[in-house]
Amino acid sequence: MSGGRTGDESPGRGRPGRRRPGRPGATAADGTADDGAAQAFELVRELEIEGSPARLWAALTTGTGGWLWPVEYEPREGGAAPSGGTVTRWDPPRRLTARVEDPDRVPGQTLDQVDHTIEPRDGGRRSWLRHVHSGIFTGDRDARYETLGRYTDFRLHTLGQYMAYFEGRPVAFSGLHGPRASAAPDAFARLARALGLPDDASEGARVRVQAPGGELDAVIDFRSRHFIGLRTDEALHRFLGRNHFGAPVGISVHDFGAHANAKGTELAWQDWLDHLYG
């Protein structure tokens, strides 16, 4: 399910006004913990997104390769959902809920649920999305909750970018991660330098990026200590500083070009990562 595996108790009621495409707003940031072994959590985000509710519904259910990774839902209540889950609410284009209760399917959790509520805005030209990720953590709740929040914000931002610039176009998705050495504390900073990103280049800046096969002319659509998002005319490149969470760095590419080659893209970026951290 979307939103990450690593989602509040008193969700905010305010609904945001216009923002940059798909920039999520946190409406609450708390959770409920008990004895340190099984700890309930709830993460809530609300945002406005370009596109009608029907188009956003398609992005959440059949177009996930354009902003997350390819997943499948059986389109009915009681149907199969990602990660071995079950669809508990299927009400297009208004409400989608999926739930995983198998602890072997979701590391570090015994329960995981993602709920999306969609409402029209601007006469149906835009949509309001309420994303609620809840469940039960095992282990260090605070660290997992913080990590989940960071991933959720980045992925919902990417959803907004997809809806604003690429919605409905065929996509070739590539996802990969670096070697174990890329889990080092400075690994993501090294990646940014290898891309050729100036330290002071912030969101909205147009940059020339060093990539496999040559330079990319891109716009920085997201930049933080943990994630970098680059948008070209034909693709969304996502760079994930998973080293900050104890794992190797990752890259995903959502290529909407006419001649996109998912396997070729994956091999090229994997070779780039292997050489960078070799």
Alpha carbon 168 to its chain's center: 18
Residue 209 in this model has a pLDDT that exceeds 50? yes
Residue 28 in this model has a pLDDT that exceeds 60? no
- The pLDDT score that the predictor gives to residue 32 is 44
| Across 139-160, average pLDDT | 94
Alpha carbon 165 to its chain's center: 16
- pLDDT tens figures, 155-181: 999 999 999 999 999 999 999 999 999
- The pLDDT score that the predictor gives to residue 5 is 39
Beta bridge pairs of residue 151: none
C-alpha–C-alpha distance, residues 26 and 38, integer Å: 24
Q: If you average pLDDT over each of 71-80, 96-105, 107-116, which comes out highest?
A: 71-80
Residue 12 in this model has a pLDDT that exceeds 60? no
Q: Which residues contact 131 (CB under 8 A, 6 or more apart)?
A: 2, 3, 24, 44, 45, 46, 47, 114, 115, 116, 152, 156
- Residue 51, helix vs strand vs coil: coil
pLDDT tier at 1, thresholds 50, 70, 90: low
Q: Judge if pTM exceeds 0.85.
A: yes
Any alpha helices (H) in 3-125, and if so which ranges?
A: 53-61
Percent of the chain with pLDDT over 70: 87
| Across 46-72, average pLDDT | 98
- pLDDT tens figures, 29-56: 444 444 456 799 999 999 999 999 999 9
CA nearest to 201, candidates 175, 177, 230: 230
Q: Are strands 80-81 and 25-28 parallel, antiparallel or unpaired?
A: unpaired
Query: How many helices and strands in the chain, by DSSP H and E?
Result: 4, 13
| Average pLDDT along the chain | 89
